[in-house]
Copies of this chain bind each other. A is one copy, B any other.
Amino acid sequence: MKPYAIGIDVGGTKIAAGLVDRAGIVLERFTTQAHAEQEPEFVISAIEAAYHAVLAQSGGEAADIEAVGLGFPGNTNGPAGLVLTSSNLPAWDHFPLRDVVAERLGVPVLLENDCNLCAVGEHRFGAGRGSRHMCYVTLSTGYGIGIIINNQLYVGHTGTAGEVGHIVIDIGGPPCGCGKHGCVMAYASGVGLSRMAYEAIDTGAETLLRERMPPDRQRFGGEVIAAAAGQGDAVAREILQTAGYYSGVGLSMVIEMLNPEVIVMGGGLTRIGPMLLEPAMAAMREHTQPELWDSVRIVPWQLEADLGIIGAAANVFAGAETVRK
């Protein structure tokens, strides 16, 4: 049993890597500007560079690394080592990322969806410790869950379990990036917040958001909307209220369907705090059978900024142990 794993989290804006020990402590970190919306060859080279940078920083050797845990956003089939789709770049369709990276690095690689890895990380080292059935809900650019059942990550038959963000909750509602309409994620996500902000601006609403629009109609950051809401902007408050409401509807779906012991809520948008989370809790209660309200503890994430790397490493430790049983 080797003492370390390297966790590499391929995100929408950066790739983060870290050397992690078996207590879940991040000993070295490295970040690069490459991201998941680029072509495979570019991303793979960046993963390779990040791996070597972390190893060099630590002064350690590949022989001390159990494996690399690799997190990737969007639809993946972790057990098969595949990215299923990414960012509408056809080159990613069913791309065997695990094996290509393992070949390059010369160490074993475990690929998994990033949100699933967050679940593993919080379950093993964070807010979900000690629970048997746990869900991690991410409220960030997207909305999704990672599912722990019987202390193990559950990914489903083709690796895509947890797509709560693409459950339709508002039939005939606004378009979602997936091509459907009225998905949870069309409201309860960074993408949803930005859509609502532009809708308000385009329909002539009086709001601070108008003068704070990002250039070229790029995505509004959640923090910009939160800042306006904090200054009393009614439109921004209403947007957060709506996003929170649908987040809570998503929570109720998780509770009704999976009856977990603990739900860990994480993701950058949770930092907005009560303006988003209070309507979420109210909507959760409104949409959940009362006898289930107290069946679950809903708690904030603990590992926050490091969760992507720690989760990826935690999956290595969990997997390695499973193999050795």
- Could you say which residues of chain B place their CB within 8 Å of the CB of A154? 149
| Residues from chain B with Cβ under 8 Å of A150 in the complex | 149-150
Closest Cβ of chain B: how far from A120's Cβ, in Å?
A: 16
A164 to B257, CA, bound (A): 6
- Whether the pair A168, B249 counts as a contact (CB closer than 8 A) is yes
A85 touches B157 (CB 8 A): no
Is the Cβ of B295 less than 8 Å from the Cβ of A161?
no
Chain B CB within 8 A of A296 CB: yes
The complex places the Cα of A164 from the Cα of B167 at a distance, in Å, of 12
Q: Say yes or no for A256: interface residue by CB 8 A criterion.
A: yes
How many of A's residues come within 8 Å of B, CB to CB? Answer: 46
Inter-chain CA distance A180–B286, complex, in Å, is 8
Q: Is B84 a contact of A158 with CB atoms below 8 Å?
A: no
Q: From A184, which residue of chain B is reached at the shortest CB distance?
A: B256
Residue ID in chain B nearest A180 by CB atoms = B287
Q: List 28 A-B contacts (CB under 8 A).
A: A132-B157, A149-B150, A149-B154, A156-B259, A156-B260, A157-B259, A160-B259, A160-B291, A160-B292, A160-B295, A162-B259, A163-B256, A163-B259, A163-B292, A167-B252, A167-B253, A167-B256, A168-B252, A168-B287, A169-B169, A179-B289, A179-B290, A180-B286, A180-B287, A180-B289, A254-B257, A257-B257, A257-B258
6 smallest beta-carbon distances between A and B, as pairs: A156-B259, A157-B261, A161-B259, A163-B256, A158-B295, A168-B287
